[in-house]
Amino acid sequence: MPINILMPALSPTMEKGNLAKWLKKEGDKVKSGDVIAEIETDKATMEVEAVDEGTIAKILVPEGTQDVPVNNVIAVLAGDGEDVKAAASGAAGAAPPKPAAAEAPAPKPAATPGPAASPAPAPAPVAAAAPPPAAAQANGHGRIFSSPLARRLAKEAGIDLSRIVGSGPHGRIIAHDVEEAKSGKGLKAPAAAPAAGPSLAPSMSDKQILSLFEPGSYEIIPHDGMRRTIAQRLTASVQNVPHFYLTIDCDIGRLLDAREQINAAAPKDKEKKPLYKLSVNDFVIKAMAVALQQIPNCNVSWTEGGMVKHKHSDIGVAVAMPGGLITPIIRKAETKSLSTISNEMKDFAARARSRKLKPEEYQGGTTAVSNLGMYGIKDFTAVINPPHATILAVGTSEERAVVREGKIEIANMMSVTLSCDHRAIDGALGAELIGAFKRLIENPVMMMV
C-alpha cells in the first residue's frame, strides 16, 4: 500500500505551513530519519524527516506552495517492493478535493444552522460569523442564514444582510435576494439603534481602503504567515485582555559601572576574544526573572479554569526580524548567570533572524521583555502576548537632571513600563512587581544574592 506523507503540525497552534523546499525528488529512495523537505511556519523554517522507508513515488504539493493545511497529503511514498509507477498513478486520489466555487443548492433544513455545514472556503463565512446585535434580533435565531455567495455579493455591494428578505428555505438569503436588494427590492427598513451600550464601527474592507488612494500610487505586498499571526494574536490580545500600564524611572548608574567592570574582566578565548559581553538588556532579563520570584503572584497565567502559578521565570525576549518579531525564551532565567543569559540571547537572536529556532524555543514563557532603547525610544507600552500576564517595555538610558536632597544632579536614567493583565494582576500587585524590578536594576549586586 502507498504511504501518504502529510503536512506535519510542527507546533500545537500550527494550522497551515509553506512548503519551502523539497530535498528529495520523485524516484529518490528514503529511509527513516532522512530529511525530505523544509517547511516554513509563521516563525521558523523546520526540517521534515521521513518516518518510513521507500521511494518517493509522487510529489503532490510543489515547493513554494503557501498555506498548505496541516494533515494534507503532500507526497506519496511507495514502500519497499511496491510498484512505484502504480503508487504514483494512484496518488491523484490522495489529494484533497478543492471546494466548489459555484453556489451549492440550498441545504436541507437540518443542515442550515451554522457555517460548519457550508461548502464554501473558510474566509467566506467570517463576515457573517459575528452579525451586529440588530441583525441577530431581526430573525429571532441569533444568526442570519445565508449562502456563502450571497454573503460575498452583499459585502461587495455594501448591503447589510440583516436588511435583506430571504426567499430560500426557512428565510435563507440567496444570491438572487442580494441582486434584488441592489435595485431596492426586498429590503427591510433599517433597524433602530440600541438604546444603550457601546458599538464597534465595522472595519473597512480591502476594496474600501484602496478606493481612498489613486490607482498606481501604491503597491500591494502580500502578508506572509508571520505577519498574519502577529496581527491575529495581538488583535485578540487587545480585545480580550484588559491591559493596564505602570511606568517607573530607574537610575542605572551602578548597573553601567558593574557592566563595564564585568566586561573588562571577562576571560578570553584562544583568539583573545572575550567569552561574553554583557548588555544592559541582559541585566534587565535577570532583574525581571528575580523580581518574579520575589513577587510570585505576578508569575502567573490566566485561564478560565484557574490561575496558573509558575515556579520558574521563563523570560521571552522580543527579537526583531524581517517581516515581524519573535520572542525566544530564556528558561529558568532566575537560576542563570548574566554571562549565560548573554550568550543564550546572542545565539537565539542569530538563529531567530535566519528562522532556525525550534518551536519549544519560542513558545510559552511566563513574561516577556521588549527593549527599544537602542532606537532612542524614551518610553512606550507593549501588548501582552498570552498566556503571559505581563510584558516589560524598556526605553533608552539617557542622562537626565534629577533632584537629590535638594540638589540637581545628572544621572543615567531609564524608563520602563509594565503592561499587566488585569484579570490576573491588580494594580497594587503590579506596582509591587515593578518596584522589585527597580530595586534590582538599580542595585545589580542584589541579583546575585
CB 282 within 8 A of CB 345: yes
- Point out the catalytic residue in the list 176, 243, 312, 422: 422
Tell me the three cell numbers of residue 26.
520523485
Provide the pLDDT for residue 120.
36
DSSP string, 181-244: HHTTTTBPPPPPPPSSS--PPPPPPHHHHHTTS-TTS-------HHHHHHHHHHHHHHHHS-EE
CB 314 within 8 A of CB 446: no
Residue 36: CATH number of its domain: 2.40.50.100
Provide the pLDDT for residue 436.
97
Per-residue pLDDT tens digits of the chain, which is 449 residues long: 678 888 887 776 677 888 888 998 888 888 888 888 988 876 677 888 888 888 888 898 998 888 888 888 898 888 777 777 777 776 655 444 443 333 444 444 433 333 333 333 333 333 333 433 333 334 444 467 777 777 777 877 778 777 788 877 667 788 778 877 776 666 665 544 444 444 444 568 888 888 889 888 989 888 877 788 888 888 999 999 999 999 999 999 999 999 999 999 999 998 989 999 999 999 999 999 999 999 999 999 999 999 999 999 999 999 998 878 899 999 999 999 999 999 999 999 999 888 888 888 998 999 999 999 999 999 999 999 999 999 999 999 999 999 999 999 999 999 999 999 999 999 999 999 999 999 999 999 998 87
Q: Does 376 share its domain with 253? A: yes
For residue 102, being part of any structural domain is answered with: no
Q: Does 237 share its domain with 373? A: yes
For residue 207, being part of any structural domain is answered with: no
Structural domain ending residue among the three candidates 164, 192, 220: 192
Residue 293: CATH number of its domain: 3.30.559.10
Range of the domain at 156: 120-192
Q: For residue 54, what are the contacts with CB-CB under 8 A and spacing of at least 6? A: 3, 29, 30, 77, 78, 79, 80, 82
Q: Does 126 share its domain with 82? A: no
For residue 250, being part of any structural domain is answered with: yes
For residue 344, being part of any structural domain is answered with: yes
Longest CA pairwise span in the chain (Å): 90
CB 133 within 8 A of CB 192: no
Helix (H, G, I), strand (E, B) or coil at 42: coil
Q: Does 131 share its domain with 62? A: no
Q: Give pTM, 2 decimals.
A: 0.62
Q: Counting Cβ atoms within 10 Å, is residue 372 exposed (0-12), middle (13-18) or buried (19+)? A: middle
Provide the pLDDT for residue 429.
97
Q: What distance in Å separates the CA atoms of residue 147 and residue 173, rounded to the nearest whole number?
A: 6
Q: What distance in Å separates the CA atoms of residue 148 and residue 115, rounded to the nearest whole number?
A: 9
Q: Does 79 share its domain with 181? A: no
Structural domain ending residue among the three candidates 77, 94, 111: 94
Partners of 16 in beta bridges = 69
Q: Does 307 share its domain with 384? A: yes
Helical ranges in 54-188 per DSSP H: 84-89, 126-129, 133-138, 148-157, 175-182
DSSP string, 8-38: P--STT--EEEEEEESS-TT-EE-TT-EEEE
For residue 199, being part of any structural domain is answered with: no
Distance of CA 204 to the CA centre of its chain: 22
Q: For residue 362, what are the contacts with CB-CB under 8 A and spacing of at least 6? A: 43, 44, 316, 326, 327, 328, 329, 352
Q: For residue 314, what are the contacts with CB-CB under 8 A and spacing of at least 6? A: 329, 330, 331, 332, 333, 364, 365, 366, 367
Q: Does 89 share its domain with 126? A: no
Provide the pLDDT for residue 17.
84
Q: Counting Cβ atoms within 10 Å, is residue 289 exposed (0-12), middle (13-18) or buried (19+)? A: buried
Q: Counting Cβ atoms within 10 Å, is residue 320 exposed (0-12), middle (13-18) or buried (19+)? A: middle
Q: Does 258 share its domain with 319? A: yes
Residue 387's closest CA among 325, 326, 300?
Answer: 300
Q: Does 90 share its domain with 124? A: no
Number of domains in the chain: 3
Q: What distance in Å separates the CA atoms of residue 332 and residue 334, rounded to the nearest whole number?
A: 5
For residue 223, being part of any structural domain is answered with: no
Q: Does 344 share its domain with 406? A: yes
Residue 159: CATH number of its domain: 4.10.320.10
Provide the pLDDT for residue 100.
36
CB 362 within 8 A of CB 316: yes
Angle formed by the axes of helices 427-442 and 253-264, to 10°? 50
Q: Does 180 share its domain with 251? A: no
Structural domain ending residue among the three candidates 94, 128, 146: 94
The verdict on whether 388 is a catalytic residue reads no
Q: Does 390 share its domain with 277? A: yes
For residue 387, being part of any structural domain is answered with: yes
For residue 68, being part of any structural domain is answered with: yes
